[in-house]
Structure 1
Amino acid sequence: MPGEKFTLMQYSVNAILGLIEANDFVIPEIQRPFVWKRSQVRDLIDSLYHGYPTGYIITWKNPSVRTKDGGYSQGKKVLIDGQQRITALMAAISGKEVLDEDFKKDRIKIAFNPLAADDSKRFAVQDASHLKDKKWIPDISVLFSANFKPRAFENEYAKNNPNVDLDELADEISKLTGIANRQIGVIELDHSLDIDEVTEIFIRINSKGTALSQSDFVMSKMAADTDHDGSIMRKAVDYFCHLAVKPEFYENLKKDTEFQQSIFADKIKWLANDYDDIYDPGYSDMLRVSFMHQFRRGKLADLVSLLSGRDFETKEFREDIVSDSYQKLEHGILNFINEYNFAQFILAIKGAGFISSKLLNSAMTLDFAYTLYLILLDTPEIPNVQIKRYVQKWFVLTTLTSRYIGSPESQMDRDMRSIQEKGFKNFLSEVEASALSDTFWTVTLPQNLETSSVNSPAFNVFLAAQVHLNCNSLLMNGIKVSDLITVAGDIHHIFPRAYLKKNGIDSKTKYNQVANYIYLDTQVNKAISDDAPCDYFSKAFMQCETKAIELGNICNLSQLNENLQENCIPLSVKNMDASSYEEFLTERRKLMASMMKRYYWSL
């Protein structure tokens, strides 16, 4: 029978807060920042007051690592579930400030009314009324301070509330301060458990079934580390990701004096003026890229093990592995946040036609593309001027083939090893030969376009191809598809939806096929209205003879034919009505696939 890999203990609230103060329990800020509502803090205090159970806290003991002198450094306990409850207790009882979503420090004060007739209304989140009404104790944290004097406090309260029964008041105060002695269950997981086992335990215990990601565990390890600047690195990751979305947050970041003294502070301040949203990485993305290009591995679980000092061969834990791993991760983070690297990567993605975040549907695919960019910077056989081109090709290839959808980490790990063993150019040639065969372009890709999802990878690549090839929008010369994507356009139906529904094609999956989608200038769309394609395209052809503009702005036949080609519209469209809809979809999918093939090989 296998031995138990956890220890179940009971700690008082006071003991837990003491262990955190002594840095024996480390709050990793997995759910950064504090996400509970203030009312939830009030409810937690109310539950403890009434002696109700408040759930288990789960900790995971960091392994003890062998030091250079042959001794062992004891691992700390990392809190992986219960952070919000512990933070709530620190805020309400210890009077600690918490971080809001903008990393601003704030107090959460819980008021207490010992005279409340209704037991359910004894606690409240403090507001102005509780400061005025003398029946309320506006902030319960004063009752838990080390120098709290019960008798003096009760006498002062009685002076403000002359009718109070001092014995009842003393009982209520005693019951409230007794919260400090309430027991909370703590499950301490053994350091020998791997990430998958810890995650499974977490899901089984956590009633909400919320899974922890491997990046959460990495952030936990970093938060618990003070010997190798792991906690500062964790801040760098958090702050970079927050600034990428909210550049105005920089003014708050400047107030973190500890971080401002780190090597990361100057490296991320450029984000204060960056409003591009092509790649706004989350902490999972940033950790993944920083790890992969430095360690040449694809699984973040390996990073957790390395930051713990694990030797994959001997299975022991060593301090030199911890030190080396943090050093490499720091280098990876610095490469990631480097303004030049980041800007050049974004230029590569935009240069491939992905000029809007609307065209990007896979964070993992972007992550690997940036990883590849950073790897190729250190690959002597590839000239710097060619790096963007290779990154573009790989990004389009992996988007088109959904390479990193499904089991992305396993695929990334295999790709990292292949690049290491064969060199990127040889590996790319192999993947192109196997994944982009003639059958892919003529059969598989047209089949992939049989979808109603406007966010499908194939359709996004088609739009990027139109941007890259500088295509004009349908029936407009001089108004580019790129203009409509970034400025003032919307996707519309070539066979109008109302027209199809009127003719019996009323299934969303039918009339919303991506092969029926096109970016249209607003005025063109209004002019088309709900007309059949044979009607409005006939007008477009007719105005090439009459020169009387009714639709769009093209009145030259060769220009019109070219315009249809760059929008992958078959020339026979001028004769098509609802009965030709399936024929149109089939033909247009082939034309779209053909354009994407031309686009890919032009990169």
Structure 2
Amino acid sequence: MNSQKYAVNQPLIETLINWVKSGEIAIPEIQRPFVWSSKKVRDLMDSLYQGYPIGYIIAWKNPNVKLKDGSLSEGKKILIDGQQRVTSLTAAIIGQKVVNKDYKKIKIQIAFNPLEEKFETLTPAIAKDKKWIDDVSTVFNGNLFDIVGDYLENNPDADKLKIQTVFQDLINIPKKQIGLIELSGDLDIEKVTEIFIRINSQGVELSQADFVMSKISSNETYGGNLLRKAIDYFSHLSKAPEYYSHIAENDTEFSKTDYFQKISWLKNENGDLYNPTYKDILRVAFTFKFNRGKLSDLVSLLSGRNFETREFEEEITKQSYDSLISGVKEFINETNFKRFLMIIKSAGFVDNRLIRSVNALNFAYILYLKLKEQKYNSALIEKYVKKWFVLTILTRRYSGSPESEFDFDIKNISQKDFGEYLKEIEDAQLSDAFWNAELIQRLNTSISTSPVFNVFLASQCYFNDKGFLSKDITVKNLIEQRGDVHHIFPRDLLKKKDLTRGQYNQIANYVYTQSEINIKIGNKPIEKYLQEVKEQCNGGELKYGGITEFSLLEDNFKQNAVPISIFEITMDDYQEFLIERRKLMAEKMRKYYEKI
């Protein structure tokens, strides 16, 4: 029979608050920052006053760790569900400030009307009304006799006995019990995740990255609390640089750290090619520094797990924090980050809409950092990162569950010459059969965000190709300026032929073109508007772009992988056109991959 995996207790609320104050329970701020409104705090206090249940909180005990002298250090409890409720209780009962979404420390004041036995968020009107206590935390932390006396003095018509009873009920809130489910410290992360999902009434799922954040934020010995902030703030600033001033003004402790200096460059950045979440930062830093791909291993290592003896050792905890901190610092380094993005852009991925696989981008950054650490030549690093990034997108290497592939790749990369490893993967996955058959088949899709179509567009940006029928405007210009995707065979005419959405929206029928060209073409049959393009090249009226020579037109078709036979076809030849263009698109992508 399996042993009990958790214990259920009902400590007093005041006991729980004392545990938080003493650090026996660590609030990891998984849901960063405090997200409850003051009204939800008010409702929580009202539920407790009325005697209603407020649900269980869940804590996971850190394993006991063996110190160098052989003694054991008792592990803390980490709160993994109930952070908002516990933070609300500490805010309302002991007046502890919380960090809001703007990273400001604020005091949540919950007012109380003893006559109506009603809680409310403090407002200027309530503050002027003598029937209200401005802040219930003053009641919990004050002298009841004096508080009742002062209230009756300000409200002489109030029923003295009722007021005494109401205040007594109010200060008894911390004496009430709260349900605590404590998960065993020897459970692995997969089991903890499963238990959490099963007993969490909100249906919220925590990722392994969330558990890592819990671990590091509750560890002050090795600087985990500041590391957690560095990760959090970097991911936030990468999306919203304007929050720099909020952090500088409201987290003065962090703003004095080396971490803050290392991420301050983000205040002037507005690019959105790569806006990593805290999960991305953790995954890249961990895989890069630990040569492992499974984040569950990081949770164990931060706890001090020795994978051979299955014991927990303080020295392993220290080494793990040192390595993770080093990895995060390499990730957030301005030179590294900008150099990596320059490499990705130089491969033609000039816009975040061309990058649908964050996993591929994450591993490309891991590879960049790893090759740099291994002292590869900078030109080789650029070549290898570009090729690997494109290869992993084309082959969908990190789609689905990427952890096992991350683990497999990083172990090989750390043990072999990367050029040799890349050749192995190319031989296995980018054979002639891939380029001449599989890739062409995958181009048979109507999904405009398809990875293969994005690679095709990236190849056009890389080769500096012009937009369809454009003389000077490039595909890169059009993508960056949100240009039009044009149907070579007009969509509305294909609809009239009773083609399905999936048929007329084929990506082999798509080209980037200037809006004015797209509008001019409108719903003209392909044979009609191309005849007018030919006349334009024979000295006729300039209708579509600025191309006036056949040689330039043929080159434009080649750049857009449009078959030159298009001049001989009609609307009835749509399917044959798609087949021919897919072949040309695949050929272009192969040429692109071989050149980068």
Cα contact 1:442–1:590 (8 A) shared by 2: yes
Partner of 2:326: 331
Shift of residue 334 of structure 1? 1.3
1:481-516 deviation line (CA, Å, top 9, x unaligned): 0001112413232223222223322x3322222222
Shift of residue 273 of structure 1? 1.1
Instruction: Please tell me whether residue 300 in structure 1 is matched to residue 295 in structure 2.
Output: yes
Q: Distance in 2 between matches of 1:591 and 1:241?
A: 40
Which of 556, 575, 578 pairs up with 1:582? 575
Cα contact 1:285–1:367 (8 A) shared by 2: yes
Q: Distance in 2 between matches of 1:17 and 1:512?
A: 60
Opposite residue 282 of structure 2, the aligned amino acid is L
SS of the equivalent of 2:7 reads strand
Cα contact 1:533–1:575 (8 A) shared by 2: no
SS of the equivalent of 1:193 reads coil
Partner of 2:63: 63
Partner of 1:515: 508
Q: Distance in 1 between matches of 2:188 and 2:194?
A: 10
Q: Distance in 2 between matches of 1:586 and 1:98?
A: 61
Which of 463, 467, 486 pairs up with 1:492? 486
Instruction: Please tell me whether residue 134 in structure 1 is matched to residue 165 in structure 2.
Output: no
Q: Distance in 1 between matches of 2:530 and 2:164?
A: 87
Cα contact 2:238–2:275 (8 A) shared by 1: yes
Opposite residue 66 of structure 2, the aligned amino acid is R
Which of 184, 190, 211 pairs up with 2:205? 211
Partner of 1:125: 121
Q: Distance in 2 between matches of 1:579 and 1:151?
A: 93
Partner of 2:91: 91
SS of the equivalent of 2:478 reads helix
Structure 1, 60-69 or 532-541: larger mean CA deviation: 532-541
Shift of residue 450 of structure 1? 2.3
Q: TM-score, normalised by structure 1?
A: 0.96
Opposite residue 576 of structure 2, the aligned amino acid is E
Cα pair distance change 1:134/1:572, threshold 3 Å: farther
Instruction: Please tell me whether residue 280 in structure 1 is matched to residue 275 in structure 2.
Output: yes
Q: Distance in 2 between matches of 1:169 and 1:583?
A: 87
Cα pair distance change 1:454/1:36, threshold 3 Å: farther
Opposite residue 443 of structure 1, the aligned amino acid is A
Cα pair distance change 1:123/1:493, threshold 3 Å: farther
Q: Distance in 1 between matches of 2:441 and 2:159?
A: 80
Opposite residue 387 of structure 1, the aligned amino acid is I
Shift of residue 176 of structure 1? 2.2
Partner of 1:104: 104
Shift of residue 575 of structure 1? 4.3
Partner of 1:74: 74
Cα pair distance change 1:496/1:129, threshold 3 Å: farther
Instruction: Please tell me whether residue 249 in structure 1 is matched to residue 243 in structure 2.
Output: yes
Q: Distance in 1 between matches of 2:155 and 2:578?
A: 80
Partner of 1:556: 549
Instruction: Please tell me whether residue 426 in structure 1 is matched to residue 420 in structure 2.
Output: yes
Shift of residue 561 of structure 1? 1.0
Q: Distance in 2 between matches of 1:182 and 1:153?
A: 21
Cα contact 1:535–1:574 (8 A) shared by 2: no
Partner of 1:450: 444
Q: Distance in 1 between matches of 2:557 and 2:63?
A: 65
Gaps of 5+ in 2: none
Q: Distance in 2 between matches of 1:317 and 1:533?
A: 71
Which of 173, 182, 185 pairs up with 2:176? 182
Q: Distance in 1 between matches of 2:522 and 2:43?
A: 56
Structure 1 residues 24-63: aligned runs within 5 Å: 24-63=24-63
Shift of residue 321 of structure 1? 0.7
Shift of residue 577 of structure 1? 4.2
Q: Distance in 1 between matches of 2:527 and 2:125?
A: 71
Partner of 1:542: 535
Partner of 2:146: 152
Q: Distance in 2 between matches of 1:453 and 1:208?
A: 34
1:37-80 deviation line (CA, Å, top 9, x unaligned): 33222221221111111111111111111111111111111111
Structure 1, 135-144 or 455-464: larger mean CA deviation: 135-144
Gaps of 5+ in 1: none
Q: Distance in 1 between matches of 2:586 and 2:92?
A: 61
Shift of residue 534 of structure 1? 1.8
Partner of 1:314: 309
Q: Distance in 2 between matches of 1:240 and 1:53?
A: 38
Partner of 1:599: 592
Q: Distance in 1 between matches of 2:129 and 2:254?
A: 42
Partner of 1:23: 23
Aligned residues, how many? 595
Cα pair distance change 1:301/1:553, threshold 3 Å: same
Partner of 2:265: 270
Structure 1, 15-24 or 210-219: larger mean CA deviation: 210-219
Shift of residue 102 of structure 1? 2.4
Opposite residue 536 of structure 2, the aligned amino acid is Q
Cα pair distance change 1:5/1:586, threshold 3 Å: same
Partner of 1:356: 351
Cα contact 2:484–2:518 (8 A) shared by 1: no
1:505-553 deviation line (CA, Å, top 9, x unaligned): 2x33222222222222111111111222222122112211134201111
1:273-325 deviation line (CA, Å, top 9, x unaligned): 11111111111111111111111111111111111110101101111111111
SS of the equivalent of 1:286 reads helix
Shift of residue 336 of structure 1? 0.9
Which of 186, 189, 203 pairs up with 1:195? 189
SS of the equivalent of 2:179 reads strand
SS of the equivalent of 1:183 reads coil
Instruction: Please tell me whether residue 170 in structure 1 is matched to residue 164 in structure 2.
Output: yes
Shift of residue 191 of structure 1? 1.2
Partner of 2:523: 530
Structure 1, 507-516 or 330-339: larger mean CA deviation: 507-516
Q: Distance in 1 between matches of 2:549 and 2:17?
A: 79
Opposite residue 516 of structure 1, the aligned amino acid is N
SS of the equivalent of 1:519 reads strand
Structure 1, 133-142 or 218-227: larger mean CA deviation: 133-142
1:240-280 deviation line (CA, Å, top 9, x unaligned): 11111111222222233322333322211111111111111
Opposite residue 418 of structure 2, the aligned amino acid is F
Shift of residue 597 of structure 1? 0.7
Cα contact 2:527–2:571 (8 A) shared by 1: no
Partner of 1:366: 361
Cα pair distance change 1:500/1:109, threshold 3 Å: farther
1:455-498 deviation line (CA, Å, top 9, x unaligned): 21111111111000100001111100000111241323222322
Q: Distance in 2 between matches of 1:225 and 1:127?
A: 38
Cα contact 2:284–2:366 (8 A) shared by 1: yes
Opposite residue 567 of structure 1, the aligned amino acid is N
Opposite residue 338 of structure 1, the aligned amino acid is N
Cα contact 2:67–2:313 (8 A) shared by 1: yes
SS of the equivalent of 2:79 reads strand
Q: TM-score, normalised by structure 2?
A: 0.97
Cα pair distance change 1:600/1:150, threshold 3 Å: same
Cα pair distance change 1:138/1:583, threshold 3 Å: farther
Opposite residue 400 of structure 1, the aligned amino acid is L
Q: Distance in 2 between matches of 1:123 and 1:239?
A: 34
Structure 1, 96-105 or 406-415: larger mean CA deviation: 96-105
Cα contact 1:503–1:578 (8 A) shared by 2: no
